[in-house]
Amino acid sequence: MSIEPEATPNPNALKFTVGKPVGGPVTYLPGGEYDEPMANELLALDGVASVFATADFVTLTKTDEAEWADISSSVVSILESHFS
């Protein structure tokens, strides 16, 4: 399954459906220490404000200053490495 970003009602949030169970529901925030490598990798990206995982998707929220064009391809790569 190809992982593609999907718009949400919040312009600062994108939904990434991975097609496999991701656990949760759980929200990860910057500054936390998590036993979840996927969340830690996503939070290490500049501009990521939070990671929400549940069912078969992950929703990322970015900071107001960040641009999706600078983040989304890295998010897809990280998610593909964990769920492909």
Which amino acid appears at position 44 of this protein?
A
C-alpha to C-alpha distance for 32 and 7, rounded to whole angstroms: 26
Q: How far apart are the first and last CA of the chain?
A: 8
Q: Is 82's pLDDT higher than 80?
A: yes
Could you tell me the sign of the dihedral formed by the alpha carbons of 21, 30, 73, 13, in that order?
positive
Whether a cis peptide bond, with omega within 30° of 0, leads into 5 is no
Confidence label for 1 from pLDDT (cuts 50, 70 and 90): low
Output the pTM of the full model.
0.94
pLDDT digits 0-9 by tens, 49-67: 999 999 999 999 999 999 9
Residue 47 · residue 14 · CB < 8 Å:
no
For 5-83, CATH gives 3.30.1370.70
**pLDDT tens digits, residue range 9-32?**
999 999 999 999 998 899 999 998
